[in-house]
Amino acid sequence: MALDYGSARTGVAVSDPTGTVARPVGVVQKAAAESGLAELARLAREEDVERVVVGLPLTMRGTRGEQVVETERFVDSLRDILDVPVELFDERFTTDLAQQTAGTAPEDALAAAHLLASYLEWCAARS
């Protein structure tokens, strides 16, 4: 499962069981709040995820901005409630790709799907 974290809206995507195709699932409002974390935990159980990948919002130069600190706090909260590994993965360009993708899913969910597709490609290249 991949999350494109935002303080207001967080896009969610999952892959197929083989880990080759990413699909957008939807958006969780205020994911860092108790209710948002509970919803993410429910989705993780429902989708039987083995790992959660959260987009790391580096600047275009690859440096850490203020959003990185907030995202890391969110990841710490996720690690406290989930029984699966939670990783950070560079999310640069996922929002741009989502904006260029035609589809019926919300933009945040499309960004999460692009993040997950990039992560799956990266994992496959390392194998």
Instruction: Place 27 in a pLDDT band, splitting at 50, 70 and 90.
Output: very high
**Identity (one letter) of the amino acid at 42?**
R
Instruction: Give the whole-angstrom CA distance, residue 61 versus residue 59.
Output: 5
- The pLDDT value given to residue 127: 74
pLDDT digits (tens, 9 = 90+) for 58-68: 867 777 778 89
Instruction: Check if the beta carbon of residue 9 is closer than 8 Å to that of residue 107.
Output: no
Beta strands in 1-127 (DSSP E): 2-4, 9-15, 22-29, 52-56, 86-90
- Residue 97 reports pLDDT greater than 60: no
**DSSP annotation of 62:** S
CA angle 25, 50, 100 (to 5 degrees): 35
Q: How far is CA 22 from CA 66, 69, 71, 87, 92, in A?
A: 28, 27, 22, 17, 17
Catalogue all structural domains in the chain, each as residue range(s) with its CATH number: 2-126 (3.30.420.140)
pLDDT digits (tens, 9 = 90+) for 33-53: 999 999 999 999 999 999 999
Average the pLDDT over each of 20-24, 64-68, 76-80, 100-104 and give the range with the smallest value: 100-104
